[in-house]
Amino acid sequence: MNHYTVNNFKKLLLGFSLIFCIWPSIHAQGEAYYIKILNDQYFQGRTEVQVPNGRADIVNDEYAIEVEWAEKWKNSIGQALWYGLQTNKKPGIVLVMKDVSDRKYGIMLQSALDYAGIGDQIKVWFYPEDFGDSFIQVEEDRSSFSQNLIEGSGNYTRNKNSGVRHKGTCGYADCKNCVPCGPNDGNKACGKCGG
């Protein structure tokens, strides 16, 4: 291989490595993004509320809400029921749909709830349709968020559990619970690196 080919191969490898390393964070952060948006604009509760064996995405005066990607609707049922039980609130589910084809997952969810006889006991919302937003806006928001995450990766991370923010050069920046974040995200800066 000549020098030009080796350099191109290294760039390609670096690009794939970056995508492979941050893709789970993009997906997880994307869900976190919608939790924040939904809570700030509609539910006005607390987010990431710790309960035994879990963490409710949103808890307000009336509901304990699980926010889930539409295609993962099966995961939402048990979580919503558990969070409702643990917080003494009504269980709720917000399915985040990427486009109109994701409606099929909402139908599957509602059919399963009705079959179990609990269709009227779990409140289900479909984002964006039940909140007056459009699928175009959802895609623009997701793309923008993902691009910001890619551009900011390596600069800062945040521990999902503690909320402590680390600089990318910190020894704690790659902990198993850490995800890429911005310079002002998280609950506090790391005491070691000042993140």
Question: What pLDDT score does 153 carry?
Answer: 52
How is the beta sheet containing 156-159 ordered, strand by strand?
Answer: 178-180, 156-159, 164-167, 188-189
Of the candidates 93, 83, 131, 87, the one whose C-alpha atom is nearest the C-alpha of residue 113 is 93
Domain ranges for the chain, please list them. Answer: 21-134
Residue ranges in the chain modelled with pLDDT below 70: 1-30, 138, 141-154, 174, 176
* SS3 call for 3: helix
Question: What pLDDT score does 66 carry?
Answer: 96
